[in-house]
Amino acid sequence: MSRQGTTLWSHSDTVKDVAEAIGIPALSDDVSKAMAMDVEYRLHEVIEQARKFMRHSKRRTLTTRDISSALKVLNVEPLYGYDSDRALKFKEALLGSAQTVYYIDEEDEVDLEKLIAEPIPKIPREPTYTAHWLAVEGVQPAIPQNPHVGEIRVMEPSLRGSQVTYSTSKLGQEAEVKPLVKHMISKELQLYFDRIVAALIEDTPSDVSKGVSNDTNIVEKQPNQDAMDINEPTSKEIALLSLRNDPGLHQLTPYFVQLVQEKISTDLTNPEILKTMLDVIDSLLHNQTVYVGSYIHQIVPCVLTVLVSQHIQGGGYEVRDYAASMLRSIVKEFSPQYTNLRPRLTRTLLKGFLDIQRSLESQYGIVKGVEALGPEVTLVIIVYNLSAWIEPISEIGQRESEKDAWSHLRTALTEAISKAPESETAEALKLVSEAM
Amino acid sequence: MSTANTRPQGNMGLDELNRIVLEFLHKKGYSRTEAMLRLESSRSTVPSLATRGLTAAVPLAGADSYAKTYALLQEWFESSLDMYQPELSRFMYPLFVHMFIELINLGEPLMACEFFDKFCESHELLHSQDLQAIKGIRLPQHVSENSVAQRFVTRRCRVQISPTAFDLLLHFLHSIEAVGGSTIIRLINQHFSLVIKPKQAAGSSTDDDDEANDFGDLGELENAPKKPLQLGIMPVDPDLKAEVLATLEYKDKNEKYDTELAPRFEEMTKPESDSPAVDAIPLPKFKPRDVEAAVQRVIDSTQMAKLGFGHKQQAALPSVAMYTFHNTYDDMNCVAFSEDSTLAAGGFADSYVMLWELQGHKLHSSLPSENSDGPTSTRRLIGHSGAVYGLSFSPDKRTLLTCSEDKTVRLWSMDTYTSLVAYRGHTEPIWDVAFGPFGHYFATASHDQTAMLWSTDHIYPLRIFAGHMSDVECVCFHPNGCYLFTGSADKTVRMWDVAKGVCVRVFMGHAGPVTALACSPNGRWIVAAGEDAAIVVWDIALGQRLKRMRGHGKGPIYSLAFSMQGEVLVSCGADCTVRVWDMQRNTLEANPALEPHDALNNGSEQVQDEKKKEVQSTTDHMAVFNTKQTPVYKVQFTSKNLVLAGGAFIP
- The CATH number of the domain holding residue B121 is 1.25.40.500
What is d(CA B626, CA B634) in angstroms, rounded to the nearest whole number? 14
Do residues B510 and B617 both lie within one domain?
A: yes
Choosing from A89, A117, A145, the residue where a domain stops is A117
Tell me, yes or no, whether B78 and B67 share the same domain: yes
Domain that holds residue A335: 196-434
Q: Residue A130 in 3-state DSSP?
A: strand
Backbone CA torsion sign across B219, B223, B224, B230: positive
Query: Looking at residues B377-389, what average pLDDT do you find?
Result: 92
Among B residues 277-316, those touching chain A with beta carbons less than 8 Å apart: 305, 309, 313-316
pLDDT score of B49: 38
B317 and A151 within 8 Å at the Cβ level: the answer is: no
Same domain assignment for residues A357 and A230: yes
The model's pLDDT over A97-121, given as tens digits with 9 standing for 90+, comes to 556 666 666 667 778 888 888 888 8
CATH code of the domain containing B468: 2.130.10.10
For chain B, how far is it from start to end, CA to CA, in angstroms? 76
One domain for residues A207 and A97: no
Put simply, the answer to whether B314 touches A5 (Cβ < 8 Å) is no
Q: Are A348 and A304 in contact (CB under 8 A)?
A: yes
* Contact yes or no for B387 and A168 at CB 8 A: no
Chain A: nearest CA to B331, how far in angstroms?
A: 8
Inter-residue contact A244 to A288 (CB < 8 Å):
no
Q: CA torsion, points A82, A83, A87, A89, in degrees to nearest 10?
A: 0
Pair (A203, A95) in one structural domain? no
pLDDT surpassing 80 at residue A410? yes
How crowded is the C-beta side of B524, counted as CA atoms within 13 Å?
A: 11
Q: Which of B114, B352, B625 has the highest number of chain A CBs within 10 A, making it the mutation to test binding with A? A: B625
Flag whether pLDDT at B529 surpasses 90: yes
Give the residue from B103, B113, B444, B616 with the most A CB atoms within 10 Å of its CB, the best one to mutate. B113
Confidence at residue A333, expressed as pLDDT on a 0 to 100 scale:
84
Tell me if B139 and A2 make a contact (CB, 8 A cut-off). Answer: no
What pLDDT, on a 0 to 100 scale, did the predictor assign at position A397?
A: 77
Give pLDDT, residue A173: 41
**What pLDDT, on a 0 to 100 scale, did the predictor assign at position A265?**
83
Confidence of residue A175 (pLDDT cuts 50, 70, 90): very low
CB atoms within 10 A of CB A220: 9
ipTM above 0.90, yes or no: no
Q: Is pLDDT of A247 > 70? A: yes
What's the mean per-residue pLDDT of chain A? 77
Say how far apart CA B525 and CA B523 lie, in whole Å: 6
Give the H or E element holding residue B560: strand B557-562
Task: Compute the distance between CA of residue B435 and CA of residue B438 in angstroms, rounded to an integer.
Answer: 8
Q: What is the pLDDT of residues B308-335, one digit of tens each?
A: 766 566 678 889 999 999 998 888 999 9
- The CATH number of whichever domain residue A91 belongs to comes to 1.10.20.10
Residues B526 and B390 both lie in one domain:
yes
List B residues 467-506 in contact with A (Cβ-Cβ < 8 A).
471, 473, 489
pLDDT mean over B222-235: 74
Distance CA A368, CA A408 (A): 11
pLDDT bin (cut points 50, 70, 90) of residue B396 is confident
- One domain, residues A262 and A364: yes
Strand B643-648 vs strand B320-326: parallel, antiparallel, or unpaired?
Answer: parallel
CA-based nearest distance A40→chain B, Å: 6
Residue B13 pLDDT: 58
Do residue B259 and residue B156 come from a single domain?
A: no
Task: Say if residue A340 is in the same domain as residue A234.
Answer: yes
d(CA B617, nearest CA chain A) in Å: 6
Are both B335 and B243 inside the same structural domain?
Answer: no
Order across the sheet with A128-135: list the strands. Answer: A128-135, B320-326, B643-648, B632-637
Residues of chain B with pLDDT > 70, as a percent, come to 84
State the pairing for strand pair A90-95/A100-105. Answer: antiparallel
Please say whether the dihedral angle defined by the alpha carbons of residues B59, B61, B64 and B65, taken in this order, is positive or negative: negative
Which has the higher per-residue pLDDT, B38 or B414? Answer: B414
pLDDT band per the 50, 70, 90 thresholds, residue B566: confident
Same domain, B408 and B467: yes
B627: pLDDT strictly greater than 80 = yes
At residue B498, the pLDDT reads 92
Query: Do the bridges between strand B632-637 and strand B214-215 make them parallel or antiparallel, or are there none, so unpaired?
Result: unpaired
How does pLDDT run across A307-346, given as a tens digit for each residue? 888 778 777 788 888 888 888 888 888 888 888 888 888 8
* Among the listed residues B541, B518, B495, the one whose alpha carbon sits nearest the alpha carbon of residue B274: B541
On whether any CB of chain A is under 8 Å from the CB of B117, the answer is: yes
Decide if pLDDT at A403 tops 60: yes
Chain A contact set for B643 (CB, 8 A): 135
Report if residue B313 sits inside a domain: no
Compute chain A's Rg from CA coordinates. 46
A42 neighbourhood in chain B, CB within 8 Å: 136
Average pLDDT, chain B: 81
3-state secondary structure B440-502: CEEEEEECCCEEEEEECCCCCCCEEEECCCCCEEEEEECCCCCEEEEEECCCEEEEEECCCCC
**Of the given ranges (A261-265, A305-309, B53-57, B394-398), which has the lowest mean pLDDT?**
B53-57
**Are A102 and A206 found together in one domain?**
no
| Burial class of residue A114, CB neighbours in 10 A (0-12, 13-18, 19+) | exposed
Lowest-confidence region among B285-294, B348-357, B428-437, B492-501: B285-294
Query: pLDDT per residue over A197-233, tens digit each?
Result: 888 877 544 434 433 444 444 444 444 444 444 456 7
Query: Would residue B594 count as lying in a domain?
Result: no
Quick check: is A8 in a domain?
yes
Q: Which residues of chain B make contact with A158, given a CB cutoff of 8 A?
A: 553-554, 609-610, 615
Query: How many structural domains does chain B have?
Result: 3
Q: Supply the pLDDT for residue B207.
A: 37
Question: What was the pLDDT predicted at B271?
Answer: 82
Q: Does residue A299 sit in the same domain as residue A395?
A: yes
Domain boundary among A79, A101, A117: A117
Among B residues 382-421, those touching chain A with beta carbons less than 8 Å apart:
387, 389, 405
Q: Which pLDDT band, with edges at 50, 70 and 90, does B535 fall under?
A: very high
A44 domain-assigned: yes
Distances in whole angstroms, Cα of residue A268 to Cα of each of A261, A309, B238, B299: 11, 7, 81, 68
Q: Are residues A200 and A84 in the same domain?
A: no
Is A400 part of a structural domain of the chain? yes
Sign of the dihedral defined by the CA atoms of residues A399, A402, A407, A411, in that order: negative
Cβ contact, residue pair A157, B325, below 8 Å: no
Of A156-170, A363-377, B426-440, give the range with the top mean pLDDT: B426-440
Higher pLDDT, B392 or B593: B392
Residues B294 and B384 in one domain: no
Quote the distance between the C-alpha of residue B371 and its chain's center. Answer: 43
Band of residue A167 on the pLDDT scale cut at 50, 70, 90: low
In a domain, B182, yes or no: yes
| B626: closest CA of chain A, how far (Å) | 7
The secondary element (H helix, E strand) that includes residue A323 is helix A317-334
Cα–Cα distance measured from residue A354 to residue A350, given in angstroms and rounded to the nearest whole number: 6
pLDDT of residue B177 exceeding 50: yes
Domain contains B39: no
Q: Which residues pair with B527 in a beta bridge?
A: B518, B537
Q: What is the pLDDT of residue B458?
A: 92
Q: Which residues from chain A sit within 8 angstroms of residue B110, using beta carbons?
A: 2, 5
> What pLDDT shows up at residue A97?
58
Assess whether B247 and B194 both reside in one domain.
no
Does B318 contact A138 at a Cβ distance shorter than 8 Å?
A: yes
| Chain B residues touching A2 at Cβ < 8 A | 110, 113-114, 117
Side-chain-side CA neighbours of B55 within 13 Å: the count stands at: 23
End residue of a domain, out of A83, A117, A151: A117
Taking 50 as the threshold, does the pLDDT of residue B533 lie above it? yes
Interface contact flag, A162 B621, Cβ < 8 Å: yes
Note whether B464 and B334 are same-domain residues: yes
Contact B139 A38 (CB under 8 A): yes
Total domains in chain A come to 2
The half-sphere exposure of A367 on its side-chain side, counting CA atoms within 13 A, is 30
Q: How far is B610 from chain A (nearest CA, A)?
A: 5
Distance from CA of A80 to the nearest CA of B (A): 16
Give a yes or no: residue B450 inside a domain. Answer: yes
Listed by number, the residues of chain A in 401-430 with a beta carbon closer than 8 Å to a beta carbon of chain B are none
Half-sphere exposure at residue B62, Cβ-oriented, CA atoms within 13 angstroms: 22
A147 to B628: CB separation less than 8 angstroms, yes or no: yes
Nearest-angstrom CA–CA distance, B623 and A378 = 61
pLDDT at residue number B484: 95
Handedness of CA A362, A364, A368, A371 (dihedral sign): positive
Name the nearest CA neighbour of B352 among B386, B394, B392, B390.
B386
- What residues have CB less than 8 Å from A412, skipping those under 6 apart? A364, A367, A368, A371
Percent of residues, chain A, with pLDDT higher than 90: 5
The pLDDT, as a whole number, for residue A217 is 43
Can you give the pLDDT at residue B485? 95
In tens, the pLDDT along B153-172 reads 887 877 778 888 888 888 88
Same domain, B148 and B295: no
Q: How far apart are CA A18 and CA A27, in angstroms?
A: 10
In a domain, A406, yes or no: yes
Contact A58 B626 (CB under 8 A): no
Nearest chain B residue to A65 by CA distance is B349
Inter-residue contact B453 to B419 (CB < 8 Å): no
Closest-approach residue (CA) in chain B for A176: B313
A173 in contact with chain B, both atoms CB, cutoff 8 A: no
Q: How far is A136 from chain B (nearest CA, A)?
A: 4
Model confidence band, residue B472 (pLDDT cutoffs 50, 70, 90): very high
B113 to A5: CB separation less than 8 angstroms, yes or no: yes
- Per-window interface: B 578-617 vs A, CB < 8 A: 578-580, 582, 585, 609-610, 613-617
Distance CA A93, CA A8 (A): 14
Q: Tell me how many helices (H) and strands (E) chain A has.
A: 19, 3
| A242 lies in the same domain as A391 | yes
B614 CB neighbours in chain A (<8 A) are: 157, 162-164
Is the pLDDT reported for residue B64 higher than 90? Answer: no
pLDDT of residue B515: 94
Confidence check: pLDDT of B543 > 70: yes
Q: Judge: B622–A166 Cβ closer than 8 Å, yes or no.
A: yes
Q: Nearest CA of chain A to the CA of B516: how many Å? A: 11
Predicted confidence band of residue B204 (pLDDT cuts 50, 70, 90): very low
Cβ–Cβ < 8 Å for B140, B52: yes
Q: How far apart are CA B502 and CA A434, in angstroms?
A: 100
Tell me, yes or no, if A160 comes closer than 8 A to chain B by beta carbon.
Answer: yes
- Residue B562 inside a domain? The answer is yes
* Residue A295 and residue A203 in one domain: yes
Task: State which residues form the domain around B297.
Answer: 225-266+287-303
Evaluate whether B417 touches B372 at the Cβ level (below 8 Å).
Answer: no
Residue B430, pLDDT > 90, answer yes
- Name the closest residue on chain A to residue B431, using Cα atoms: A56
Q: What is the CATH number of the domain that holds A230?
A: 1.25.40.770
Q: Do B128 and B215 fall within a single domain? A: yes
Where does B136-225 have alpha helices with state H? 140-145, 147-154, 163-175, 181-191, 216-223
Closest by Cβ to A167, choosing from B315, B348, B378 = B315
Q: Is A151 on the interface with B (CB under 8 A)?
A: yes
**Closest by CA position to B636, among listed B573, B570, B577, B552:** B570
B204 and B247 both lie in a single domain: no
Helix, coil or strand: residue B106: coil
* Rounded (10°) angle between helices B181-191 and B65-79: 80
Of A4, A161, A171, the CB nearest to B619: A171
Q: What is the pLDDT of residue B603?
A: 40
* Nearest alpha carbon to residue B569 among B308, B233, B268: B308
Q: Name B572's bridge partners.
A: B559, B578
Q: Residue A168: its chain B contacts at CB < 8 A?
A: 313-315
Distance CA A406, CA A412 (A): 10
> Considering only CA atoms, which of A233, A245, A235 is closest in space to residue A199?
A235
Least confident of A260-274, B460-474, B526-540: A260-274
The answer to whether residue A157 is domain-embedded is: no
- Nearest CB to B628; choose among A129, A146, A158: A146
Q: How many CB atoms lie within 10 A of CB B66?
A: 23
